[in-house]
Amino acid sequence: MRPGLLLIGLCVPLALVLGSILLIPASLGHLFGISFKSWCLFACAPATSLLLAACAHRLRGGEARR
């Protein structure tokens, strides 16, 4: 597997999730009763989708070239 794609598609999403859980304090405030920490975690989902879309685009390009 290409290390660059694994980094973008697997390691970066994992780092985002773990960063949201471990680094953001729980006391930053709330919106609709939900902590800012949780909102940051939820924001990881569209970010992961974008990163995977970039990987899929690269893979399709690579397959087309082959």
Chain residues binding other proteins by CB under 8 A are 1-2, 5-6, 9-10, 13-14, 17-18, 21-22, 25-27, 29-35, 37-39, 41-42, 44-46, 48-49, 51-53, 55-56, 59-60, 62
Give the span between the Cα atoms of 51 and 5, in whole angstroms: 9
Cβ proximity of 47 and 1 under 8 Å = no
Residue with tokens 């939820």: 42
- The least CB distance from residue 65 to other proteins, in Å, is 12
- The least CB distance from residue 23 to other proteins, in Å, is 11
Residue 44 corresponds to which tokens in the numbers above? 């990881």
